[in-house]
């Protein structure tokens, strides 16, 4: 009978017939190595989303606030990162980062809103 080897450290694996790793450490190390590139991308996107959410929540303390594009840019807001879009029947497009949203108005102004 052939002895199975751990996918990470190549040591013999004891136990169940479908077991692939000799320990939790090897299983975690293997999966971290395999998923490293995709995890970095996800981590970077989540960091940008968190930063955008923080900026909106700091500027919008009352639930509805108007701010300029310059003020958002100065704080480091990135308009490329949002979690959802909501289009109204009247044609307005709201962009949301989780529960904080914004609507582009005239003259480089934005209406910041909080979804309940």
The owner of tokens 């990470």 is 8
CA-CA distance, 110 to 73, in Å (whole number)? Answer: 12
Q: Domain containing 76: what range?
A: 46-114
Q: Which residues pair with 112 in a beta bridge?
A: 65, 102
Whether residue 23 sits in one domain with residue 79: no
Q: How far apart are the first and last CA of the chain?
A: 62
List, for residues 46-61, the tens digit of each pLDDT value.
999 999 999 999 999 9
User: pLDDT digits over 74-109, tens only?
Assistant: 999 999 999 999 999 999 999 999 999 999 999 999
Provide the pLDDT confidence category of residue 39 given band limits of 50, 70 and 90.
confident
Q: Please check whether residue 61 lies inside any domain of the structure.
A: yes
Please report the pLDDT score of residue 1 as a whole number: 60
Q: Kindly provide the b/e burial profile for residues 70-92, where b requires at least 16 CB atoms within 10 angstroms of the residue's own CB.
A: eebeeeebeeebbeeeeeeeeee
Question: Whole-model pTM?
Answer: 0.70
Question: Does any domain span residue 29?
Answer: yes
- On whether both 25 and 66 belong to a single domain, the answer is no
Question: What are the tokens at 77?
Answer: 């807001």
Q: What pLDDT sits at residue 3? A: 83
Residue 41 lies in a domain: no
In this structure, are 53 and 109 located in the same domain?
Answer: yes
> What domain count does the chain have?
2
60 and 6 share a domain?
no
């Amino acid at each position: 009978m052939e002895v199975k080897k751990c996918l990470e450290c190549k040591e013999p694996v004891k136990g169940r017939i479908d077991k692939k790793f000799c320990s939790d450490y090897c299983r975690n190390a293997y999966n971290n190595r395999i998923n490293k590139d995709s995890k970095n991308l996800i981590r970077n996107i989540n960091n940008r989303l968190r930063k955008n959410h923080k900026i909106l929540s700091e500027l919008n303390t009352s639930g509805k606030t108007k701010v300029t594009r310059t003020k958002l840019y100065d704080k480091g807001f990135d308009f490329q990162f949002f979690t959802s879009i909501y289009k109204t029947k009247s044609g307005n497009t709201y962009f949301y980062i989780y529960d904080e949203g914004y609507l582009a108005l005239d003259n480089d102004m934005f209406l910041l809103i909080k979804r309940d």
